[in-house]
Amino acid sequence: MAALQPVRGTHDLLPDAARAHRAVEARAFEVASRFGFGEIMTPIFEFTEVFKRTLGDTSDIVTKEMYTFEDRGGESLTLRPEGTAAIVRAFISGGLAQQVPVKAFYRGPMFRYERPQKGRQRQFHQVGIEILGVEGPAADIEVIACGAHILEALGLGGTVTVELNTLGDVESRAAYRETLVAYLQGRKGELSEDSLTRLEKNPLRILDSKDEGDRAVVAEAPILADSLNDASRDFFARVQEGLAALNVPIEISPRLVRGLDYYTHTAFEFTTTKLGAQGTVLAGGRYDGLVKQMGGPPTPGVGWAAGVERLAMLLADPPPAPRPLAVIPAGAEADTLALTVTDRLRRAGYAVDLGYSGNMGKRMKRANKIAARAAVILGPDEIAAGAATVRDLDSGDQEAVPFDALEGALDRFR
């Protein structure tokens, strides 16, 4: 154990980074609220089965990435690698099926044992939304539009593309599966070992492989669009029409599939050219079979998750640190006055920094260092006059303000 180091792939968020991170979450939630989503908070660990059963035995997450452990009671638990399975578990165990449609927003840490690199961590954070209980394409349109609004609100409009595909309904997927397997059998020799396993269990997953040899094979594979039945084709057309009406620019990406087993119909990824290989910032799709597969009443679903770290890196206008007032007492007799003035100003809603020690010069230095907006100076002269010297630290202008008028007089420095 390397003591006193963060675990590989985990990061502390120091104040500047934490502020950007919280801003991403807050803006995402604000926009999602406008779309009618309400927050659901689930535990960060679940019974291992919750993820194992839903994500599928051949998914990267289940085969390589889960943090699974036995607790002291002998239960197998897993730190959540993603949010959808947990939300669906809550939907079922909380009896929310009576209240569909359910529109859930979630945020928080996710855990995956991956090879850490830029934009890829072992503890990372997501925000996500899910709509449960809506069969038609209106829900697909709404979740994608909500994602687009959020990225706009983060100042990323124009830098992202929405790649869109359809996996079709169960019948279309089955038809495609046959076509795909026939093709892949012919090029078996070029596939990675992982993909040979997938060929048996879940050949569609091969389309999502990151192995270069696999990718070359996939590039020439027959596409899903050619296996779609009329119903699936129509569903996809209606999703595209809705997005066109909302001016959400899309790019049809015939080979886009999502890495998890439970998707049907719509699949999409929002990508940016700004993050190199880790360019996907938001990804999701429709998962009509999932609730039933987890033991709930058959309920369609559609949603997405976005990586908060990746979005925070791209944030066009990271929020600046708030600029406090600095209360600066000079001389021992001013200390108690400084305490009470500070307290009153804080109660009036100001952010106030009270230096803990040092002479006036040292405290002024600190005020500048924390980018205080103004200094409220309390020295012997001020005490004698019953008025503080208030110095605007941007302009250098100063004025005398009676102690009992401070709350109102400092309004412009908020």
CB of 9 to ligand ATP, least distance (A): 8
Binding range to ligand ATP, per CB under 6 A, among 41-49, 307-315, 382-390, 400-408? 307-315
Nearer to ligand ATP, 101 or 119 (CB): 119
Q: Is 114 in the site for ligand ATP (CB under 6 A)?
A: yes
The alpha-carbon radius of gyration of the chain (Å, integer) is 28
Closest by CA to 411, choosing from 392, 388, 386, is 392
Binding range to ligand ATP, per CB under 6 A, among 37-45, 117-125, 211-219, 392-400? 117-125
Binding range to ligand ATP, per CB under 6 A, among 34-42, 71-79, 114-122, 175-183? 114-122
Binder among 11, 22, 120, 344 for ligand ATP (CB under 6 A): 120
C-alpha 118/C-alpha 400 separation (Å) is: 52
Residues in the chain, how many?
414
Residue 263 annotated as lining a ligand binding site:
yes
Three-state secondary structure of 212-235: HHHHHHHHCCCCHHHHCCHHHHHH
DSSP tag of 292: H
Contact set for ligand ATP, span 122-151 (CB under 6 A): 124, 126
Residue 30 annotated as lining a ligand binding site:
no
For residues 162-187, one letter each, b for 16 or more C-beta atoms within 10 angstroms of the residue's C-beta and e for the rest, the string is bbbbbbbbeebbebbeebbeeebeee
CB of 412 to ligand ATP, least distance (A): 41
Binding range to ligand ATP, per CB under 6 A, among 16-24, 150-158, 294-302, 306-314? 306-314
Binder among 307, 324, 329, 355 for ligand ATP (CB under 6 A): 307
Q: Is 53 in the site for ligand ATP (CB under 6 A)?
A: no
Contact set for ligand ATP, span 62-91 (CB under 6 A): 82
Q: Is 163 in the site for ligand ATP (CB under 6 A)?
A: no
CB of 355 to ligand ATP, least distance (A): 39
CB burial class (10 A; 0-12, 13-18, 19+) of residue 102? Answer: buried
Binder among 121, 166, 232, 389 for ligand ATP (CB under 6 A): 121
Nearer to ligand ATP, 120 or 177 (CB): 120
First to last CA, the chain: 47
CB of 125 to ligand ATP, least distance (A): 8
Q: Is 301 in the site for ligand ATP (CB under 6 A)?
A: no
Report phi then psi at 262, rounded to 5. Answer: -90, 5
Task: For the beta carbon of residue 335, count every other beta carbon within 10 angstroms.
Answer: 13
Q: Do residues 314 and 159 lie in contact, with contact meaning Cβ atoms separated by under 8 Å?
A: yes
Q: Do residues 77 and 47 lie in contact, with contact meaning Cβ atoms separated by under 8 Å?
A: yes
Binder among 55, 180, 243, 281 for ligand ATP (CB under 6 A): 281
Residue 176 annotated as lining a ligand binding site:
no
C-alpha 224/C-alpha 254 separation (Å) is: 7
Residue 280 annotated as lining a ligand binding site:
no
Nearer to ligand ATP, 120 or 187 (CB): 120
Report phi then psi at 127, rounded to 5. Answer: -115, 150
Amino acid code (one letter) for 277? A
Of all residues in the shown chain, the one whose CB is closest to ligand ATP is 307
Residue 115 annotated as lining a ligand binding site:
no
CB of 123 to ligand ATP, least distance (A): 8
C-alpha 297/C-alpha 236 separation (Å) is: 25
Helix ranges restricted to H, 44-160:
48-55, 60, 84-93, 137-153
Binder among 86, 131, 191, 305 for ligand ATP (CB under 6 A): 305
Q: Who's near 281: CB < 8 A, 6+ residues apart?
A: 151, 156, 160, 270, 271, 272, 275, 306, 307, 310, 311, 314
Interacting residues toward ligand ATP by CB under 6 A: 82, 112, 114, 119-121, 124, 126, 259, 280-281, 283, 305-307, 309-310
Bind-site residues for L-histidine = 82-84, 112, 126, 130, 258, 262-263
